[in-house]
Amino acid sequence: MPHVKRVPQRTCVGCGEVEGKRELVRFVRTPEGAVVCDPTGKRNGRGAYVHAESDCLERALDGRLGHALRCAVTPEDAAGLRQAFVELLAARQSKRPPQIHRAPEPLRLQPRPRRTAGKRAARP
Ligand SMILES: [Zn+2]
């Protein structure tokens, strides 16, 4: 058999799409029953994966994550996961340089004509 390097595929519990493991963030249920973010992907416990996008996170937190992990995600858990998620995304983004440089909006050079109070000019 030839050596074929395959990226493990996992399903995002937010949108249900299958994705390479690297594109996803892992959440794991600890033996204590808490749900935590697992940036390394190596923690023991039942895991679930979510795209590194807030839309998918919110969908996952809206019941799907608890279903996937077969436990209740408490509001405290959800708050902690959001926080960890944001930090994780920031850390990931800081590693690679931003690809899109958005030009600032052009300044309006023409001053708007000021009209003193009174009739508004009817547009043609
Ligand atoms: Zn997703």
pLDDT at 123: 66
Average pLDDT over residues 23-34: 92
Domain assignment present for 14: yes
Query: What residues make up the domain containing 25?
Result: 9-95
Domain assignment present for 13: yes
CA of 108 to the centre of ligand 1 (A): 40
CA of 89 to the centre of ligand 1 (A): 14
Q: Which of 1-5, 41-45, 85-89 has the least mean pLDDT?
A: 1-5
Q: Is the pLDDT of residue 106 over 80?
A: no
Q: What is the Cα–Cα distance from 56 to 16, expressed in whole angstroms?
A: 9
Domain assignment present for 4: no
Q: Is the pLDDT of residue 25 over 80?
A: yes
CA of 18 to the centre of ligand 1 (A): 8
Which residues sit with Cβ closer than 5 angstroms to ligand 1, an ion? 12, 14-15, 51, 56
pLDDT at 99: 59
pLDDT at 71: 92
Q: What's the longest Cα–Cα distance across the chain?
A: 85
CATH label of the domain that carries residue 53: 3.30.1230.10
